[in-house]
Chains A and B, each alone.
Chain A
């Protein structure tokens, strides 16, 4: 089996490289590949092609980071909640982050990216805790259906509050629309460097705790016997998952379904072990988001279709597939 794992790993890395090249080369202005490579190695000259490629670098870098973070965030959430459909967008976390950002813009006169990020993180945490607790109330604890419905309902409720806050405030609406698009296209170097620490910490924690999470899936008693502290691992995992998706949302707005589809595809390729799935989520997540972004640029040309829309269109069938494959009632551990 190991042999195949390395094969799939190579495939993922190849896809990521292809995604990077496509993201730099394709768009409303096509740049030939040799130009792209020449620019990357620093001898592109001062032509238009070079300028375009340089312009596309920040969004490409952010695309890799954002895709990696969203993929890992989804994998962690699915493992911790033991729920096959946990995803930042389904749990309404993106909308929560959006609501807090709008609140900050409307009432606290916030206008810097730094402050948006903190608001988005706060919103992400509050919403995550809220949705999770609503979804766990009652007999049988948390089930996929309860969680999904709690997320969908919360998300619907929060987005109408967002529109009510926005409608009377034209200037906030303009600022927010710019933010709300769910696209990696608006990423700048300063945005990337601002969120970078959050993403690194989140990804680092995820890598460290994934072997422990694997042990916990054997049963909590057994994991305790092997020296794991399930409580600590769960708290760290939640922190990491929410930080990752909150920070990405702060820059790019809501990008859904990456976190849902990546772990499911990877579990088919690599089996259920998180020590493979988590690192590979970074590679494949980055690749998918880059491709979604490129597809959006091609479809929407001369303007562009936001990457979040493309990922939703690609990812929603995975949700349908997971749900349709379930036998009878979706049980707590099932599907």
Chain B
């Protein structure tokens, strides 16, 4: 099989690039290639263990397999724990003990993956397959690739006998994608002592944004929008469609949706998104850069905001967004609809609550005939939404950010770290809720226009996987060397 030779060649190429001037080049290159081989082995093993929420999946199997790896690598049994509230959904926690000079850092990654059907894929989604320089398999990107990298980095540090200035805790967990046994939530609620840390690093997002193969910037997610679904519903007595009446459930709903489409939630920046625009303005040029600066001024420049908000990405960073995603109405072609429904999906800025947004939707829809209910993730409907506000972004800690800035600049000369707010939700919600400042990055390079998370033929490039593995090891080492 040519797979291994190619992988080796790629790894050597990478090492040659980064260690050219290094005196201990050969030794470091060996360590790197050993670590890359291990990371890849771990990824292959994890990919082959089905960890979907369905009955075929088992997260515990993956947690146990990785625990075995860690013990074999020399971690004491008491520092490797597999535990959880559900037999099939156990979590792995491992601790690399440090000097205790600082409070620990917690690394989190989820072991579970979304479903994948063999018939939809070009390859078996539960086998790691290398093809044309890419590693294919469910979870390669989201997020067994980052899991393998975090594990390999920890093992490498352990085997080097490295003693960090703070404990490094790694938690690999269940039910991030769905299911009712979310590992991170369970751990912070029931085993806080096992996961307590000064701050948390999540690997659940790729960071190097590629545009036409070239890195644009390094994304550091330091804040998340809150996800909320609302159901709009209109009921009507219906009737025979041969005699249409003025009061029609579908038309009432569509008039509401028309008002919603025209509405924009207020512009709002926070510490993270301010930093995002401040830094991005240095990368961008022309009108866009000027507009980014202009919306940072006080008061913000309205026209600049309008121009920027025309871009869906910038709009989502500067506003809570709500959008209709589903429609359903009527029961027969020849009967007036007795019910019309829509799902409106909202991404809420930190500092605001789903209930606040629900009330705003009621105002925007401006029609008491349209009921606006909150739809929980299990589909249940309530006439009120949670009043809990999304967490305010944590401060950008220098001890976390400085080594990242330096390492990014060393790895990708000229590339900037740009703090970012994620429009989606991840396990960072649970660590943030527990009062732990949480930052998300994984040094994988992905072109966002070819982002296959949750989709078919999910993949990461071999070169990027190895580069990220080396990067993460170095980052952990730098972070915990001071």
Same complex for A and B? Answer: no
